[in-house]
A and B are shown apart, each in its own frame.
Chain A
Amino acid sequence: MEKTRVDFRDEITRNKLKSFLLMFVIFLIIIALGYVISFAYTPDAFFGILILSIIISISYLLITYYNSDKIALFSVNAREVKRENNKLYYDVVESITIASGLPMPRLYVMPSKQINAFASGRNPKKSVICVTEGTLEKLDRRELEGVIAHELGHIGSYDIRYMTLVAVMVGIISIISEIFLRSLWFKSNDRDNNKGNAIFMLIGIILAILAPILVYFVQLAISRKREFSADATAVKFTRYPPGLIGALEKIKYQNAPEKKITKAIAPLFFANPFKELGNTHPSIDKRISLLKKM
């Protein structure tokens, strides 16, 4: 009987703490960037730039914190669905919310032939679930229930908050850093603007130093343990491992790599969208064999 118990309290505390830590580190990073820029460019305006960078970093954090789910949904071109649009999808989600006692999330569909899904949001009340068109076409009711229960497992444990924050906050930083590094590459031939070069050099160096820290946070987010525990939670909700196993087997044999998904949000997905490198997700075979033992 003990194994039917679903208690997220420890996971919730951990995820909230990690989210806070992540935001704090990003806050410090942006201020450090502001400091370096002011140091290199206009030492006189140091305090002005410091205040500016504090304002920028706080607004950046607030905007991404309250909109991370929207950014993730926007990046995959998802559209909202109501019950009228897809009753099976809606009813399956509603059934599992009844089984789990979680609130009803908003539902989205994204264009892709793959079988895949992700959940996002900052808490269960403000959560969203997004599945691909392929998922709704290829999975039967029990398999869809398994996938949805897995996503609701991420929602109940607050995985969604931390994972989406990592994807969006770090994702944007990594995109910006790529742009900077690329422009550094082009600027190296440009002899006219030495001062500008120096700034880009500095920013490039800082980003090179910060990159391992960001990688650390991304690795924390994509921990395989989260996927296994969401699978286990899914079985506790549905009491029917074959549903989830069936979905995973269909993914194994039918999914082709999806190129349209940005790398930053890949860890959010039910199964690795790219397939070739398995490091954001545990292998499907491993997940299936664990589920068969339940």
Chain B
Amino acid sequence: MPLGLLVWMLIGILALVVMIFFSYFNRFAILGNRIDNSLSQIDVQLKRRADLIPNLIETVKGYAKHEKEAIKAVTDARKALVSAQGLEKRIRANNQLESALKTIFALAENYPNLKANENFLELQRELTTTEDKIAYSRQYYNDSILNYNNLCKTFPGMFFAGIFGKKAREYLQITNTEREKPKVEF
């Protein structure tokens, strides 16, 4: 009788240990997936942004042909963004594009017809929105890494991280041009 009880207790403890292992394994998997998803979200938004540029260039050309330099800066920045490999490079290219776009929008002030153009206004609004979304997706990416790293670096997650071979991940560290500066309202 005591032997039977002992066996049951051992089985109980074993089951508990297995459950804890499973739950930590899943936790790592969920948080890891979240990082990957947020990474692809950044790419989605960057692509959406790049797709808006050709339309913008066409509209600007219709009203302000002479601003060749500014237009070229935007098309070049777009090209750099599309061809950039790796997240950090793409974010840098996006920052480049952002400043080129600022020049275009500032120049538009000199062209009343362009400024009043429905299509131009719509594109300007869309570009601001995607810029917002890029900033938010980067924020979520870093938040996801923070959650993951907290699990990796605190006990008891640390213990399981060692067993499952999970390591803390790197944050995205590029100076945040969007969030610090006051936003331009259109």
Contact = CB atoms under 8 A, between A and B. Distances in A.
A101 B183 contact: no
Contacts of A4: 142-143, 146
Contact of B146 (A5, A87, A96): A5
Contacts, number: 45
Contacts of B132: 91, 95
Given A4-B146, A95-B133, A98-B41, A142 B140 contact: no
Contacts of B37: 101
B179 interface: yes
B88 to A, nearest CB: 20
B159 to A, nearest CB: 20
Contacts of A91: 129, 132-133
Contact of A1 (B137, B146, B179, B185): B146
A87 B136 contact: no
Given A4-B146, A95-B132, A141-B185, A239 B139 contact: yes
A99 interface: yes
A4 B179 CA distance: 15
A189 to B, nearest CB: 65
Contacts of A178: none
Interface in B17-71: 34, 37-38, 41, 45
A212 to B, nearest CB: 40
A94 interface: yes
A138 B183 CA distance: 19
A140 interface: yes
Interface of A is mostly: helix
Contacts of B150: 2, 5
Interface string A93-133: 01110111100000000000000000000000000000000
A239 B135 CA distance: 11
B144 interface: yes
A101 B140 contact: yes
A100 B132 CA distance: 14
A7 interface: yes
B87 to A, nearest CB: 16
Contact of A100 (B45, B125, B140, B183): B140
Q: For the side of the interface on B, what is the size category?
A: 20 to 34
A95 B129 contact: yes
A141 B147 CA distance: 29
Given A5-B150, A140-B185, A87 B125 contact: yes
Nearest to A100: B140
Interface in A1-40: 1-2, 4-7
Interface in A42-98: 87, 91, 94-96, 98
Contacts of B144: 101
Nearest to A91: B129
Contact of A98 (B140, B142, B179, B183): B140
Contacts of A2: 150
A96 B136 contact: yes
Nearest to A101: B140
Nearest to B132: A95
B129 A5 contact: no
B136 A95 contact: yes
Contacts of B45: 98
Nearest to B183: A142
Given A4-B146, A94-B133, A140-B185, A99 B125 contact: no
B34 A98 contact: no
A6 B41 CA distance: 19
Interface string B119-140: 0000001000100110011011
A258 B22 CA distance: 51
25 contacts: A1-B146, A4-B143, A4-B146, A5-B143, A5-B147, A6-B143, A7-B147, A87-B125, A87-B129, A91-B129, A91-B133, A95-B132, A95-B136, A98-B41, A98-B133, A98-B137, A99-B137, A99-B139, A101-B34, A101-B37, A101-B38, A101-B143, A142-B183, A239-B139, A239-B179
Given A1-B146, A91-B133, A140-B185, 9 more contacts: A2-B150, A5-B143, A87-B125, A91-B129, A95-B136, A96-B136, A98-B137, A99-B140, A101-B144
Interface of B: 34, 37-38, 41, 45, 125, 129, 132-133, 136-137, 139-140, 142-144, 146-147, 150, 179, 183, 185
The 7 closest A-B pairs by CB, nearest first: A99-B136, A98-B136, A91-B129, A98-B137, A95-B132, A95-B136, A95-B133
